[in-house]
Amino acid sequence: MAAWSDLTNDVLEHITSFLAFPDHYRFGAVCKNWRSVSKRRRYPPTPQLPWLVLEEEKEIRKRKFYSLSDGKHYSIEIPELHGRYICGSSHGWLFAVDIKINGILVNPFTRECYELPPFPAYSRKTDVTALTEKVPSDYTGGPRNYTFEEMKTKIVFKAILSHDPKKRSDFTAMIMFGCKRTPAIWRPGDLCWTVVDGPKCSMEDIVYFKENFYVLSPENEVYVMDFESEPKLIEVGPQIDAEDCPFERYLIDFNGNLLLIERFCDYEDEEQELNVTVGFNVMEPNLEENILYEWSDIDNLHYSWAEILLYTSIQAIFRSARGMVFISHT
């Protein structure tokens, strides 16, 4: 019988696709060859619950993760993320910003990274050199200046990728930045972010679905990104009438179907620090050639409520808890 050390890299790579996050790191700690194999992702990983990314442990310079599957915390040293605030995740990659408002896109499992230009609202401002220094704000319209600690959660509201950079080098990154959640895009090689022309109102959510970026407005209007000339948003359907006012709205790609989810919260208890979710409303648009024909109530569709609510609850955690992001191992 051959020894484990004699296994070919192809076999080892296939084995890693079945490993949970903690076991993946343990696998890479066995020897140099296995560590090298653990950084490759030629085989798609088996489905598993994501990790929550918590605040950095500044004393030991390690990033703390929480595993939903086993209920344990894990501290991992990722030098590329030291001193940076994580503002989003997509395809297993993390978007992070430092005190100089420079961005980085990093894969915490392979340590590959892309340097990003300064995020749009600060591209014309002086670099920040210390947490105590005041940062000019493009968001409030008032004369007051704000520290990086005060503004870091507002620099980028959400960030997504069109594709996994490990699989396609021609990927596109899209963010919603500032209090107005203005959309902007970046591609490898770009020297700056391109702010997308569209409605002046703030945006609710963005999603990449079937080779297109879709954007949701507060009025439940759906827009698609047009790349033919200058990037701009084109409305693909009328707004959806809403009798109630939801706390949050989400656009999600759920098993190859585009869903709009409205989350409702209990506002009666003013002393509560957290918003208690009391219900959801789920709808599905029928898209044909980027035209929104109608929305259907999810009750008439054949979806697993448990799966939808788990997916949406994780997104709700990501948006509501400051300093917390979820990441899937892809």
Asked if residue 171 lies in contact with residue 164, where contact means CB atoms within 8 angstroms, the answer is yes
105: left (phi over 0), alpha (psi -120 to 50) or beta: beta
Give residue 273's pLDDT: 60
| CATH entry, 1-48, from 1.10.10, 1.20.1280, 3.30.1490, 1.10.287 | 1.20.1280
CB-based contact 291:278 (threshold 8 Å):
no
Percent of the chain with pLDDT over 70: 67
306-327 pLDDT per residue, tens: 454 555 444 544 444 444 455 5
At 272, the pLDDT band (50, 70, 90 cuts) reads: low
Secondary structure class of 9 (helix, strand, coil): helix
Most confident of 61-65, 136-140, 141-145: 61-65
In sequence order, what are the beta bridge partners of 327?
51
Average pLDDT value over all residues in the chain: 74
pLDDT (tens digit per residue) in 226-243: 887 778 888 886 666 655
Least confident of 28-42, 108-122, 130-144, 247-261: 130-144
Tell me the sheet residues that pair with 90: 93
Contact criterion met (CB below 8 Å) for 183 and 233: yes
> For residue 124, what pLDDT band results from cuts at 50, 70 and 90?
very low
Q: pLDDT tens-digit profile of 92-111?
A: 899 998 888 889 999 887 78
32 Cβ contact list (under 8 Å, min separation 6):
none
**pTM (2 d.p.):** 0.75
Q: How many CA atoms lie within 13 A of 63 on its CB side?
A: 23
Domain ranges of the chain: 1-48
Return the bridge partners of 282, or none.
Answer: 261
Q: In which band, very low, low, confident or very high, does the pLDDT at 44 lie, cut at 50, 70 and 90?
A: low
Per the model's pLDDT, the better-predicted residue between 110 and 297 turns out to be: 110
Q: How far apart are CA 194 and CA 188, in angstroms?
A: 12
Instruction: Decide: helix, strand or coil at residue 179.
Output: coil
CB of 236 within 8 A of CB of 292?
Answer: yes
